[in-house]
Amino acid sequence: MRAVNLFIKRLIDIFGSSIGLLIISPVLIIAALLIKLTMPGPIFFKQERVGKNKKLFYILKLRTMKVDKEAEENLDFSKDKDRLTAVGKILRRTKVDELPQLINVLVGDMSLVGPRPTVMKQIEGYTDFQLQRLNMRPGMTGLAQVNGNITLPWEQRIEYDIEYIRNFSIVLDCKIFFKTIAIVLFGEEKFKKVKMTNSQNQVVEK
The pLDDT tens digits for 31-45 are 999 999 988 889 999
Give dist(CA 27, CA 166) in Å, integer: 35
Query: Above 50 in pLDDT, residue 184?
Result: yes
Where residue 4 falls among pLDDT bands split at 50, 70, 90?
very high
- Residue 158 contacts residue 133 (beta carbons within 8 Å): yes
pLDDT over 70 for what percent of the chain? Answer: 86
**Which pLDDT score is estimated for 192?**
59
- Please give the pLDDT value at position 201: 44
Residues 6+ apart with CB under 8 A from 30: none
118-152 per-position pLDDT tens digit = 999 899 999 999 999 999 999 999 999 999 888 88
pLDDT for the residue 68: 75
How large is the average pLDDT for residues 86-111? 94
How far lies 68's CA from each of 59, 76, 82, 168, in Å? Answer: 18, 10, 11, 38
pLDDT band at 114 (very low <50, low <70, confident <90, very high): very high
pLDDT of residue 1: 82
This prediction has a pTM of: 0.84
